[in-house]
Amino acid sequence: MAVTATPAVFMTTTNPCISSSHKRIMTCTANLSTQSKESSWTRLTSSSHISSRQPLFQSFTSGHVKSRKVITRAMSGADESKPLSGLPIDLRGKRAFIAGVSDDNGYGWAIAKSLAAAGAEILVGTWVPTLNIFESSLRRGKFDESRKLPDGSLMEITKVYPLDAVYDNPEDVPEDVKANKRYSGSSNWTVQEVVEAVKQDFGSLDILVHSLANGPEVSKPLLETSRNGYLAAVSASSYSFVSLLKHFVPIMNPGGASISLTYIASERIIPGYGGGMSSAKAALESDTRVLAFEAGRKHKVRVNTISAGPLRSRAAKAIGFIDMMIDYSSANAPLQKELSAEEVGNAAAFLASPLASAITGAVVYVDNGLNAMGVGVDSPIFENLDIPKGN
C-alpha cells in the first residue's frame, strides 16, 4: 500500500533576520504548512491503486541559510521509482470477515473500507433480518458513494453471508425463530454454518472483525434489568465474539488478527447505557485478554479490542441519547472534534496489519482521548479555570 505524497507540502526553515542597525541576528518564526483538509484516507489506498502506481519517496532539498526565507518543497512526482520511505499498511493477499455490517454508516462498514483500502479481500456477515435490504442496497448502488476508496474505486465485497451470532449451531435455534418471517428464505446462518461456508468457499481467513452488539433492555437501568435481558445483552454483545473466534480460529492463518469493538461504559458509569450492556462490554474486554493468550499460544492469532467513542450511527440512535454523548465528548475530550467512523476503521487496519505484530490482548482507545479524563471540564464548577477550548 502506497502513501501518496501531495505536491502542496511546504517546509519553511528558520529564517535568520539580520538587523543592520543593531548588528544582531534575530530568529524569525518557522512555519510548517500542509493541506489541512487532507484526510487520513491518504494513508490508505486500495489494492488496485497499489498495483497501478509505484510507491512514492518524498525527496526534500534545501538551500543554504541566508537572510531571506528558504523554502523546502516535497517533490511528489520526481522520485516515484524509488522505494517508499515510511511504514505503509499493506494487507494485500489477506482475507477479512467483518461480522455485523448491515448498513453503510457504522463502525463495521468503516473498518471494512479501511481494510479494503489497505488491499484486503472483504467478506461480511449481515444480520439475517436486514440481509435483503442490505444486499438490495448494494445491488442498486445506494452505497456507491460511501463505497469510494481513496483512489476513487469502489470497495468490493466478495461475498455477503447471512449471520445471527446469537446461535452457535442449528440445534440452538428456537422453533419460533425458525418460523419467523424475517428469517424465511435464509439458511446456514448460525456461527458454525457460516464458518463452514467460508471454509468451503475460501479455505482460510486472516482477519476477523466483531462489530456486533445488542441489548433488548438497553434503555433500562441495571436495577430494573431482567435476567433474560441481561443475559441476552451478554450473549449478543460478548459471547458472540468468543463463539466467532472459537469457530473461525482453526481456519485462520498464523499471524492473523481478530478485533472487536467495546465502549468506555465497560469501566466508567454511563447513565442511560443499561440493560446489562456495560457488563457485556466489560466481559468483552476481559475475554479479549484471555483469548489473546489462548489464541496466541495455540494458533498464533492476535486478539485486540477497540474502545471507540460515540458515533451517530443508526444502531446508536436507537439508544436515544447518542447526540448528547457526542456533544459531551466534544466538550470534554482533549481533542475537541467529532469522532469519525473512518478514524476507527484506520485504527483497525493498523491492528490487523503486520505493523501491530506484537500487540495483542489490548484495549485500544480511539475516542479523542475522552477515556483519559477524570472530570467533565464543561461543568460550571470549572468556569473560573483557564481551561483551553477549541475554536
CA distances from 163 to 4, 195, 204, 272 (A): 37, 10, 18, 28
Whether 230 is catalytic is no
Assess contact for 124 and 98: CB atoms under 8 A.
Answer: yes
Written as one letter, the residue type at 356 is A
Half-sphere exposure in the Cβ direction for 293 (13 Å, CA): 4
The position carrying cell 473500507 is 113
Dist. CA 127–CA 124, nearest whole Å? 10
Residue 133: helix, strand or coil by DSSP? Answer: helix
Dist. CA 37–CA 308, nearest whole Å? 23
Q: Among candidates 195, 31, 228, 242, which has minimal Cα distance to 97?
A: 195
Assess contact for 291 and 305: CB atoms under 8 A.
Answer: no
Dist. CA 180–CA 54, nearest whole Å? 53
Dist. CA 157–CA 37, nearest whole Å? 28
Exposed/middle/buried for 161, CB within 10 Å: 0-12, 13-18, 19+? Answer: buried
Q: Which of 230, 273, 328, 365 is catalytic?
A: 273
Within 8 A by CB and 6+ apart from 129, the residues are 182, 183
Q: Which of 183, 263, 328, 365 is catalytic?
A: 263
Assess contact for 303 and 356: CB atoms under 8 A.
Answer: no
Q: Interhelix angle for 240-248 vs 191-202, to 10°?
A: 30
Whether 263 is catalytic is yes
* Range list of H helices, the chain: 47-52, 107-117, 131-139, 175-179, 191-202, 227-234, 240-248, 277-299, 314-317, 322-332, 341-352
Query: Could you list the active site residues?
Result: 263, 273
